[in-house]
Amino acid sequence: MTANLIQDLSSSIAKLTYPVLIQKQNEEYIATVLGLDFKVKGSSRKEALEQLLEQVNIMLKQGEIVQLEISLAEPEHPWMKFAGMFKDDPYFDEMLKDIEAYRRERDAETEEYYRQLDLEETVK
The answer, yes or no, to whether residue 3 has pLDDT greater than 70, is no
To the nearest whole number, what is the mean pLDDT of the chain?
84
Are residues 10 and 57 located together in one domain of the fold? yes
R_g of the chain, CA atoms, integer Å: 35
Are residues 60 and 26 located together in one domain of the fold? yes
- Over residues 28-80, the pLDDT tens digits come to 998 888 887 778 899 998 998 888 888 888 887 887 777 778 888 888 899 98
CATH of the domain at 52: 3.30.160
- What is the amino acid identity at position 70? I
The answer, yes or no, to whether residue 117 has pLDDT greater than 90, is yes
Containing structural domain, residue 53: 2-71
Residues 16 and 65: beta-carbon distance below 8 Å? yes
Are residues 62 and 87 located together in one domain of the fold? no
10-14, 34-38, 119-123: which has the minimum mean pLDDT? 10-14
What is the reported pLDDT for 5? 44
